Structure 1
């Protein structure tokens, strides 16, 4: 017999909203891309985890372009 008070995984997922990975992909998809600081702030990940996520995107076939903003800050964006 199952406990009726336990929500299923699909219900939990729908309550949580967008995932961190989804939010970071959206940041990287912007025309201006995202800096490491923006990714860390949005996701709550450590910098090494954010860099590892970008490596994972490359392995999935995404092309990440590294650019320098006028402020001198390095940013990355997904090339479409």
Structure 2
């Protein structure tokens, strides 16, 4: 349940052109983390990569990370549908792999991983490691990140008995 303070944050975001939810001033790191997680879980906000001068909650390897109000968030406050946010911010988490705006920027390692996993033959961890230059643990972490974003990975074996991962869009699809 969202309390009055949270609702005020969402209302401020709904009234701003970029639809970004600003981290409250003076909020300590632990409280900010908890609030960030709570807002993300409500489906009223989505995690996005923002540019340096936009409101953000924390930074990671992707850059500054902010929260953008979703259409559901706007409607819960009595506002109309989203009028379009900042072009500079790229969503990084959403309900599914083909939801509007969740595709990674072209030319990134994440885009390469997704393309390889969508091939009919899928990809092994070794294939992914060779293509992106990461170690096995980082490559597996990227696969976990895709699962956390709601993408469906199936696991199977190829003719040589190696574990092959495939990215599917349908929850009813079984491992090949």
1:31 partnered with 2:120: yes
Map Cα deviations across residues 31-51 of structure 1 (whole Å, 9 max, x no partner).
110001000000001100000
Rounded Cα–Cα distance in structure 1 between residues aligned with 2:154 and 2:121 = 11
Q: CA deviation at 1:64?
A: 0.3
Residue 54 of structure 1: aligned partner: 143
1:71 partnered with 2:160: yes
Select the structure with the greater relative contact order (CA < 8 A; seq sep ≥ 6).
1
Count residues with an aligned counterpart.
64
TM-score by structure 1 length? 0.77
TM-score by structure 2 length? 0.36
* Greater fraction of residues in helix: 1
Map Cα deviations across residues 24-78 of structure 1 (whole Å, 9 max, x no partner).
1100011110001000000001100000000000000001000100111111000
SS at match of 2:153: strand
SS at match of 2:159: coil
Unaligned runs of 5+ in 1: 1-16
- Bigger Rg, which one: 2
Rounded Cα–Cα distance in structure 2 between residues aligned with 1:45 and 1:77 = 19
Residue 4 of structure 1: aligned partner: none
Unaligned runs of 5+ in 2: 1-105, 170-176
